[in-house]
A and B are shown apart, each in its own frame.
Chain A
């Protein structure tokens, strides 16, 4: 045993003080006795000065307390068998809000964890981690059952997606080593292959659910822009909904603004059917809406509308463009409520800005020719060779990337069309990436296989031959394959569509410069552009909400769950990261008020009928669809720690046994136990003192 703070032993100097106090108290203590007669002959003697202190059990208890306090201050520690670490994972993702027989699944998950906590051994320390958001509720492993029970009881399900693997990874990082036991309470099914130390407590059952998976606001692209920048005749909301159940359901979809129903549509969704539903919002209806209250002021001189001839504010008022439209879906059998509504703002879409970036002039010419066909699209070519990068004849790719990022900082909402995936990854907004031109790329007749209903494949037949120059993509981003190509007996993904951190990305394995223009190609191109533009302004839970810039001063933020927060804003753009609830966030500063909608679109969480386990380690992605390149990875339970990037660290001098946990040693601090002993001694002393006083 050694001491972490040996100076604490100086407290032992208090023991002589205690002895002196006892001697003093003894000299002043009067004892009333029956008679001194028996000691008469002793009284005649002169009493000798007593050299030793007269003590009783109270003295020894007090002395023991002082010694133990000195010991606790010195922070003793010894090397002993390691305490058993238990990683408790509570799934707080949105799917846990689903109700089964009137009770939310989260309650059942909590009950499972509470049961484990109740059986927590004295040598067990537990770390509690939630999945959505991924965070540890206990700063360090603790054996305090009461605190753990309180934390589990206070946890609530958020409107976020969650992954058990992420929570497990965080837990391992915080523990510094693989836990001896992992217990995950979730609604996901337990994976088949699990290590003996991992237990997945599944509380889920197949629950039918109808969910909104996406909302897009479209206006017609290829019609002339209204004269004078007036509002388009109508806007379309494309609501992607899916029936996660084994039976067909009658579904009602409606759009509302300020409580008024703008449009409504009823349809029948077959079992497990995903369908984009188009809702038209006519101008006549929009004009009847009252004028919204204060409109967010735009920073002067920084808007691109000024350069592009933006519409006057009065025209926006007629359409109530800054007012979010609420889309709501209802079905008879619906387990989850959070995915039944979404908000979208019918923004100014008179002109759609597109940026074309490519090193190849032929690519820009081809794309520009297509874009010129649509009068509502205003596009520009981004010449990355101008500026510092132009100095070199063949500038390095990093220089081009830096130049792109500098431009992207000023083009926050423009759609990028490029043939370089790296440029799309650096772009802050949605991007369309075509395969780069290669000399081998030659047009050949391939069959386009359209099996997944998606906005990008609208108007395309399920199978049609198209002369296409297919160039396999060098790097595949995760996403949903929405169009396949059948060529020479193999099926390769032709178009991938995905979404990450609010940005949409379409990857197209087509070389546009080598592919003859065809109706299908043009339709595919404009469908992609329209789908990419539909995501503008959409914010999803977990993504930062940005408002402003705002002047410095107090700001009040009102969240969808009714909680309000006041904070002092230092000026500039206000960033709110706690967007774990879907709904309308209201920001007020002085007389200015802003309203932002945060949506919940997560097909994985909404699929309460056939849940998939997220225990397996996968690359994090926001895409709702499965990856086009599924990788078979071992589950976390059988995954060795180095594969997780976390070395299994053993303390110095530790001897790890075959089971990895049995013979580990660690420095075990004893301060808590010693303090507990002090408190126990004090209680015993008090009890004995009271009893002595009574007798």
Chain B
């Protein structure tokens, strides 16, 4: 049943037909979920026979098989786990430029992904890359809790500058990010090495990563936005006289984004780029499934 959120109810209904694309279940998920993993568990779904080893529950010994083969075998059952989905949204100052719609769209995309995860009976929480101690929302498991997620997210305002790798390191410790899946929504306008380091740290925690880059058309084509003057970095305050041709600016942005895309491909990270002039519906229903975010 759709909840009261800033999202369009019709969009929410269409999202119900989707689910998160999970390549493999990672250790670290909570037991009792609907996803079976390749581990002997306690569900009622028979998996296989395994030779008895001391310590196994003798109640799982198949005595009929012992009568025929004179060997002890135990029945194994599939383990079913609940997937933890961590949605990390970049809330630094760059997300509010050149237009506040950029951060709004990032939130909307995060809510859509969270809603799909909730429909899939996963545990979902959101956290924001922002100055200060990393904090996140409580884990949500019901779709009705999307409303709470949007409410919490609505209080966040993009501000300041954060070294992303450092923030990830702190977040892994304080938020106990381990296993499961993580979706990072950012504009990717950070130093590539810094971003790679942050993502690599997450991957070391056996987290299945997805990177969603949100950019405005002006950022993709900066020659349209500014053609002269002094550029001021919104996060660092660094200034620089703009004295380059439009082609040079375009090439610089293209190279930066290409670098991100290549790293993600090499690292097995699902990567998608969303332009602000693309509609939210089109992005969620077409772009993200094609990029391995949803299925």
Residues of A that sit less than 8 Å from B by CB: 26-43, 47-50, 53-54, 56
Q: Is the CB of B233 within 8 A of A33?
A: yes
Task: Decide if A34 touches B234 in the complex (CB within 8 Å).
Answer: yes
Check if A31 sits within 8 Å of B256, measured CB to CB: no
B90 CB to nearest chain A CB (Å): 11
B256 near A29 (CB under 8 angstroms)? no
Point out the residues of chain A lying under 8 angstroms from B253, CB to CB. Answer: 38-39
Chain B residues within an 8 Å CB radius of A30: 229-232, 239
B187 → A minimal CB distance (Å)? 6
Interface segment, one of B46-54, B75-83, B243-251: B243-251
Q: Given known contacts A29-B228, A50-B228, is B239 in contact with A35 (CB within 8 Å)?
A: no
Q: How far is the CA of A380 from the CA of B236 in the complex (A)?
A: 117
Given contacts A29-B228, A54-B227, 9 further A-B contacts (CB under 8 A): A31-B242, A34-B94, A34-B189, A34-B219, A35-B189, A38-B255, A39-B253, A42-B244, A43-B240
Q: Which residues of B contact A54 (CB under 8 A)?
A: 227-229
- Cβ contacts under 8 Å, A40 to chain B: 191
- Complex Cα distance A290/B240, Å? 101
Bound-state Cα–Cα, A31 to B97, Å:
11
Residues of chain A contacted by B95 (CB below 8 angstroms): 34
- A45 vs chain B, min Cβ distance (A): 8
Residues of A within 8 A of B98 (CB): 33-34
Nearest CB to that of A53 among chain B residues?
Answer: B228
With known contacts A39-B249, A40-B191, A56–B232 Cβ distance under 8 A: no
A29 and B229 within 8 A (CB): yes
Judge whether B156 is part of the interface by a CB distance below 8 angstroms: no
Minimal beta-carbon separation of B11 from chain A (angstroms): 27
User: Is A26 within 8 A of B235, CB to CB?
Assistant: no
Q: How far is the CA of A54 from the CA of B246 in the complex (A)?
A: 12
Distance from B149 Cβ to chain A, minimum over Cβ atoms (Å) = 25
Q: Are A32 and B232 in contact (CB under 8 A)?
A: yes
Are A38 and B243 interface neighbours, CB within 8 A?
no
Q: Which residue from B97, B219, B228 sits with its C-beta under 8 Å from A32?
A: B97
Chain B: CB-nearest residue to A49: B243
- In whole angstroms, how far apart are the Cα atoms of A36 and B226 in the complex? 13
Which of B97, B191, B256 is the one whose CB lies under 8 Å from A33? B97
Task: Give A64 to B19 CA distance when docked, in angstroms.
Answer: 58
- Docked complex Cα distance between A28 and B243 (Å): 13
Give CA–CA (A664, B244) in the complex, Å: 58
Residues of B that sit less than 8 Å from A by CB: 94-95, 97-98, 187, 189-191, 219, 222, 225-236, 238-244, 248-249, 252-253, 255-257
What B residues does A49 contact at CB under 8 A?
Answer: 243
Q: Give the CA-CA distance A40 to B222 in the complex, in Å.
A: 14
> Which B residues are in CB contact (< 8 Å) with A36?
231, 233, 236, 238, 240
Give the residues in chain B near A34, CB-CB below 8 Å: 94-95, 97-98, 187, 189, 219, 234-235
Question: When the two chains form their complex, are residues A32 and B240 in contact, meaning their CB atoms are under 8 A apart?
Answer: no
**Bound-state Cα–Cα, A49 to B226, Å:** 17
- Residues of A close to B97: CB separation below 8 A: 32-34
Pick the contact of B256: A27, A32, A38 (CB < 8 A): A38
Contact B232 A37 (CB under 8 A): no
In the complex where A42-B248, A49-B243 touch, is A35 in contact with B234 (Cβ < 8 A)? yes
Expressed in whole angstroms, the Cα–Cα distance for A47 and B242 within the complex equals 7
CB distance from B262 to the nearest CB of A (A): 15
| Chain B residues in 8 Å Cβ range of A29 | 228-230
A to B CB contacts below 8 Å, 10 in the list: A30-B232, A33-B98, A33-B231, A34-B189, A34-B219, A35-B190, A38-B255, A47-B242, A49-B243, A54-B229
Collect the chain B residues with CB atoms within 8 Å of residue A27's CB: 229-230, 241
Supposing A30-B239, A50-B243 touch, asked if A37 and B231 sit within 8 A by C-beta, the answer is no
Cα–Cα distance between A42 and B256 once the two chains are bound (Å): 12
Nearest to A32 among chain B residues (CB) is B232
Question: Max chain B CB contacts within 10 Å: which of A31, A35, A56?
Answer: A35
Cα separation A40 to B236 with both chains bound (whole Å) = 13
Contact (Cβ within 8 A) A47 B94: no
Contact A37 B244 (CB under 8 A): no
Residues of A within 8 A of B249 (CB): 39, 42
Q: Which residues of B are found within 8 Å of A43, using beta-carbon distances?
A: 240
Complex CA–CA separation, A207 to B80 (angstroms): 111
In the bound assembly, the distance between CA atoms of A9 and B187 in angstroms comes to: 53
Q: Tell me, rounded to whole Å, the shortest Cβ–Cβ distance linking B230 to chain A.
A: 5
Residues from chain A with Cβ under 8 Å of B241 in the complex:
27, 47
The complex places the Cα of A558 from the Cα of B98 at a distance, in Å, of 74
In the bound assembly, the distance between CA atoms of A30 and B229 in angstroms comes to 6
**Is A33 a contact partner of B226 (Cβ separation < 8 A)?**
yes
Q: Tell me the complex Cα distance, A43–B242, Å.
A: 9
Query: Separation in Å of the B219 CB from the closest CB of chain A?
Result: 6
Q: What distance in Å separates the Cβ of B60 from its nearest Cβ neighbour in chain A?
A: 57
Q: B95 — nearest CB in chain A belongs to which residue?
A: A34
CA distance A307 to B60 in the complex (A): 163
- CA of A32 to CA of B96 in the docked complex: distance in angstroms? 11
- Known interface pairs A35-B189, A35-B235, A36-B238. Does A42 touch B230 (Cβ–Cβ under 8 Å)? no
Chain A residues with Cβ under 8 A from B229's Cβ?
26-31, 54
Whether the pair B240, A31 counts as a contact (CB closer than 8 A) is: no
For the complex of A and B, the 8 pairs showing the least CB-CB separation, nearest first, are A54-B228, A29-B229, A47-B243, A35-B189, A34-B94, A38-B256, A26-B228, A34-B97
Complex CA gap A62/B189 in Å reads: 37
Contact residues in B for A26 (Cβ distance below 8 Å): 228-229
What's the Cα separation between A486 and B60 when bound, in Å? Answer: 160
CA distance A27 to B255 in the complex (A): 27
Q: Check A31–B226 contact: CB distance below 8 A.
A: yes
Q: How far is the CA of A41 from the CA of B249 in the complex (A)?
A: 11
In the complex, what residues of A have CB within 8 A of residue B225's CB?
31, 33
Given the known inter-chain contacts A38-B253, A42-B252, A49-B243, please indicate yes or no for A33 contacting B232, CB distance below 8 A.
yes
Q: How far is the CB of A233 from chain B (nearest CB, A)?
A: 106
Q: How many Å from the CB of A694 to the closest CB on chain B? A: 13
> Which residue among B191, B234, B242 has the maximum number of chain A CB atoms within 10 Å of its CB?
B242
* A38-B189, A38-B253 known; A31-B232 Cβ under 8 A: yes
The answer to whether A56 and B227 have CB atoms under 8 Å apart is yes
In Å, the complex CA distance between A31 and B242 comes to 9
